[in-house]
Amino acid sequence: MNLLMSLLVMISLASCAGKEKADLIIINGKVLTIDKDNPMAEAVAVKGEKIIAVGSNRKISGFAEKGVTKVIDARGRLVVPGFNDAHVHFGPLDPDFIELRYTTDPSVITEKVAAQVKKSRPGQLIRGGHWVHEMFIDKKWPSKELIDKVSPDNPVLLERADGHSVLVNSYVLKMSVITRETRDPFGGEIQRDPVTGEPTGILKDAAMDLIKTGFAGARRSAEEEKERTWHGYLLAMKEAREYGVTSLQNAGSADFEAYVKLQKEGQLTSRIDIGAPLTGDTAVLLGYKETEKKYPRNGDWIRFGYLKAFSDGSMGSSTALMFEPYTDNPSSSGLAMWPYEQLEKMVVTADKMGFQIGIHAIGDKANNWVLNAFEKAIEINGKRDSRHRDEHTQTVQLSDIPRFARLGVIPSMQPTHCISDKLFYEKRVGYERCKGTYAWRSLINAGSMLAFGTDYQVEPLNPMEGLYAAVTRKDRLGEEGQGWFPEQKLTMEEAIKYYTLGSAHAQFMDDRKGMLKTGYLADIVIVDRDLLTIPGNEIMKTKVDYTIVGGKVVYESGK
């Protein structure tokens, strides 16, 4: 703490007797509040779980009480609201997971699988993933031959980064009875060798459901699995707090009781929403209502979230549902996960019962279908503040962009998908259709409030990668030029806003979260670089120095 600040604190301690005292104050910061009425400040005071004041160093120092108040001197560093990831697939991490992100040489896959096989028992499931075949040297889909020779006695499942395709070995195909005679399921594809017709080992979307899971965790005892799972939750929480992610909105169901246990043991360091699969079955929906009572949406920590469905697949796996055929595969326009009529019926039924709904939509036809279904729900059930969500909003017809704001549908988007998928997007759908791809600026100009996230573990959880993507639209190596469709770029302040207040709005918590404002939850992050002024190539190098959740410091870098 510098000399001036020390004097201010001493003066305040002497002159502010009787004034409410804080448990924690942050002084000498560059505080980006995301509060339009008080956009920048120097300091923040916290009592319990909430912020009690935001303002100047002199003002906030008056809330300090010697021996009681913890004082953090930000030393000029940037202070922002805690990051709120609006779309994650969060859960226990597997310490044996084979990480293949950014792999360019397919032989690396063989080597990593072989290494894990040596550490595993025969029959034990080996998992890994995050590969992208467009990043491979030959840019070809991998096949089972890549891993069969090193894994004859173990089932191997390696998911593509988008989670919509998986590479399996012959062991899995045999156990699952997937042969050349097996028919493609609705909404899925078994990739086949064009000459022999035999499965290549690539299963897309609904075809992944054909995998028999009886071998999962083979030869591990129930106690071993339980211990591994608990350790996995602790690893996941550690990763979130080190990245400054103070809130998580799980895209789908998860184990509520696991997070209750984490909270009881003082290990829950991120707030979490947990949803459930969208359905039109009213009996199931009534069951969801009971769960919602147990984990109410007016709570602050563990809450029932939105109902999730898929309308299509992914662009990377060529299963995103498009109006027109793929440019690089004119025989396909993608896959619908549901017939439109069934999707609409589920939406109308769940909306009538008051649920919030979020639907995965990648292709322009899929996004159109989702908007149509939400519009039908308004027509039949009447308009309310439903805040239904279009999860991903990746490729949209330009004529559909104004409909989001008009219908009150939230574009829940993940900026890193833009810089990952730009490698192949134009090849898939051509230049013209890319004009409506990751159209952040166009959606904002049309009146939408965006909600940002990562789609973790599809993409890394680190918010800095998302912020970099939002303001540069360049690949991670920092290519020359203005970025991909640069007219859609955001300012850094906007990107942080949609990663905090925008995400809070999407979960009906913008009245108490997403800003550094009196009365709001004290979820605060201090970073080691000034994101508002540094060049783009330094954004992803930015580290979190402090993560504060509910007024408690849950992570400190020690710097």
H, E, C per residue of 340-361: HHHHHHHHHHHHHCCCCEEEEE
| 5 pLDDT more than 70 | no
Spatial contact of 365 and 322, defined as CB atoms under 8 Å apart: yes
For the chain, list the domains and their CATH numbers: 3-76 (2.30.40.10), 98-210 (3.10.310.70), 227-514 (3.20.20.140)
Rounded to whole angstroms, the Cα distance separating 60 from 34 reads: 18
- Give residue 267's pLDDT: 97
- Give residue 15's pLDDT: 43
- Burial of residue 56 (CB within 10 Å: 0-12, 13-18, 19+) is middle
| 541 pLDDT more than 80 | yes
| 214 pLDDT more than 80 | no
224: phi then psi, degrees, rounded to nearest 5: -60, -45
Mean pLDDT rounded to a whole number for the chain: 94
Q: Are strands 524-527 and 302-310 parallel, antiparallel or unpaired?
A: unpaired
Q: In what order do the strands lie in the sheet with 30-32?
A: 40-41, 30-32, 78-81, 524-527, 544-549, 552-556
% of the chain residues with pLDDT over 70: 95
Give the type of residue at 370: V
| 47 pLDDT more than 90 | yes
Give the type of residue at 257: E
Confidence of residue 11 (pLDDT cuts 50, 70, 90): very low
Residue with token string 């591990």 = 220
Which residues are CB-contacts of 391 (< 8 A; sequence separation ≥ 6)?
Answer: 87, 251, 308, 358, 359, 360, 361, 412
pLDDT tens, position by position, 94-113? 889 999 998 999 999 999 99
pLDDT tens, position by position, 364-419? 999 999 999 999 999 999 999 999 999 999 999 999 999 999 999 999 999 999 99
- Burial of residue 294 (CB within 10 Å: 0-12, 13-18, 19+) is exposed
- Give residue 1's pLDDT: 47
- Give residue 221's pLDDT: 75
Q: Give the DSSP letter string of 175-191.
A: HTT--TTPPPPTTEEEE
- Give residue 224's pLDDT: 80
Confidence of residue 219 (pLDDT cuts 50, 70, 90): low
% of the chain residues with pLDDT over 90: 89
Helix axes 340-352, 364-381, angle to 10 degrees: 40
| 274 pLDDT more than 50 | yes
pLDDT tens, position by position, 249-264? 999 999 999 999 999 9
Q: Is the peptide bond before 356 cis (omega within 30 degrees of 0)?
A: no
Confidence of residue 2 (pLDDT cuts 50, 70, 90): low
| 215 pLDDT more than 80 | no
Rounded to whole angstroms, the Cα distance separating 385 from 493 reads: 26
- Give residue 212's pLDDT: 86
Q: Are strands 50-55 and 357-361 parallel, antiparallel or unpaired?
A: unpaired
- Give residue 95's pLDDT: 86
| 220 pLDDT more than 70 | no
- Give residue 300's pLDDT: 98
Spatial contact of 386 and 508, defined as CB atoms under 8 Å apart: no
